[in-house]
Structure 1
Amino acid sequence: MTDAPVPSPAPGSAADVVRTWDARAEQYLRLFRDELEGKPYDLDVLRAFADRVGAGARVYDAGCGPCGHVTALLASHGLDVLGIDLSPRCVDLARREQPGCRFAVMDQGAIGTGPLDGLVAYYSLHDQPKRVLPVTLAAWAAAVRPGGQLLTVAKEGTGDGVVDDPMGGELRVYWAEFTAYELRTAARDAGFRVDDCTVREAYEDEIPARRVYLAATRS
């Protein structure tokens, strides 16, 4: 008698996110450990977020990944920041890379009721189907206090499905892209006031897709 094969998790599910990120965490770390050094626009946007919430603000870095570099940058500006990620391997590596910062395994779509002063989601939306976006934004709105700040960054486009891993290799991953309109609409429907929504072109060494930056205040 042989054991029945273990079914693969549904594409884009939480279990699928864990599967794909546990498998490629080390590769991502090698590629993107120092990525912020070559992204002056992103540094300005993250610093502006830190200025808006103010020193001592309680903030989550949702989808911190294995680098933990956004968490570390926000902490360097005096924020009380926790980096969260679904992937235990990503959290383990982030703790190693940024020993002075705090990290926890947590689902960005089920983070409780806060209250947080702000939340940053730096490329954390593309691992799950676009239909999940309203649920995720509603969870963020429940966690962020009125007047608190949201910053989310996503790749622009209409893609929504399983693709070959953009980082290379044989892995198949879920990949969702968003338009500025989709992000604005979801944020407003969830209870945020959109303060700014800008788009920039990709840098030469980035995946060739424009980036959408949305800043909002919890109503």
Structure 2
Amino acid sequence: MADAPLPPPEPGSAADVVRTWDARADHYLQLFRHEWDGKPQDREALHAFAGRVGEGGRVYDAGCGPCGHVTALLAERGLDVLGIDVSPRCVELVGREQPGCRFTVMDQRETAGERLDGLVSYYSLHDQPKSGLPATLASWAAAVRPGGQLLIVAKEGTGDGVIDDPLGSDLRVYWAEFTEDELRAAAETAAFRVDACTVREAYEDEIPTRRIYLAATRDGARCPGE
């Protein structure tokens, strides 16, 4: 008698992120391989982050995806950067796409215990439920040394649930959006001091929602959650 099929993973769980990104990694790579060609504000935000960290600083690109263009840009700016992604297919593809950079399979929600000078989350938060944001930020704060830098780029909004893939695949995916106040509160609760938070309108070829850029410094006066 054949075994009963396994139930699908819980939406927004790590297993669900692996399922959806393993399935659409190739599609995403074709869409965003040359993303920097038309996004000057994103490049400027990453250059500023690299300047705050300083040459040789140890940094994670959390949720690097199959393109690795954030990892590559930060490496070009002199950082010791590792791209991490929970999707094995993303890491397989990005290793070919950016052979001069380093990548590994790792859940961005389980970085506590590292000793980093900074961490970048470039659209990596929208795959998980908004209820998981505090725990994710706490894990990042536990990984980044006091005085270290954080950069979050996220899509603005209130969405939080399973929808048709905005990237155009035939999948149903978990999709969360955030407000500036939500990101600020989560960062500050997790022992980061918010230094700047700006918003830009979507470019013509982007999903039509505004983008939030939050830059913060790990507070050395307290531990995460205090």
Asked if these proteins are the same fold (TM beyond 0.5), I'd say yes
TM-score (norm 2): 0.96
1:1-219 aligned at under 5 Å gives the runs: 1-219=1-219
Between the aligned partners of 1:142 and 1:30, the Cα distance in structure 2 is 35
Between the aligned partners of 2:114 and 2:166, the Cα distance in structure 1 is 34
After superposition, the C-alpha distances for 1:143-183 in whole angstroms (9 at most, x for unaligned) are 00000000000000000000000111320000000000000
Identity of aligned residues (%): 76
How far apart are 1:112 and its partner, in Å?
2.8
Q: Which residue of 1 aligns with 2:222?
A: none
After superposition, the C-alpha distances for 1:78-131 in whole angstroms (9 at most, x for unaligned) are 000000000000001111000000000001110132210000000000000000
Question: Which has the higher mean CA deviation after the structures are superposed, 44-53 or 107-116?
Answer: 107-116
Between the aligned partners of 1:109 and 1:157, the Cα distance in structure 2 is 22
Give structure 1 stretches of 5+ with no counterpart: none
* Structure 1 residue ranges (4+ consecutive) displaced by more than 2 angstroms after TM superposition: none
Q: Which letter does structure 1 place at the counterpart of 2:24?
A: R
TM-score (norm 1): 0.99
SS at match of 2:108: coil
Between the aligned partners of 2:79 and 2:167, the Cα distance in structure 1 is 31
Q: Which letter does structure 1 place at the counterpart of 2:25?
A: A
How far apart are 1:2 and its partner, in Å?
2.5
Between the aligned partners of 1:111 and 1:91, the Cα distance in structure 2 is 17
Between the aligned partners of 1:217 and 1:103, the Cα distance in structure 2 is 24
Q: Which letter does structure 2 place at the counterpart of 1:114?
A: E
Between the aligned partners of 1:100 and 1:112, the Cα distance in structure 2 is 26
Give structure 2 stretches of 5+ with no counterpart: 220-226
Between the aligned partners of 2:2 and 2:75, the Cα distance in structure 1 is 51
SS at match of 1:109: helix
Cα pair 2:53 2:149 within 8 Å, conserved: yes
Q: Which letter does structure 2 place at the counterpart of 1:117?
A: D
Between the aligned partners of 1:170 and 1:52, the Cα distance in structure 2 is 40
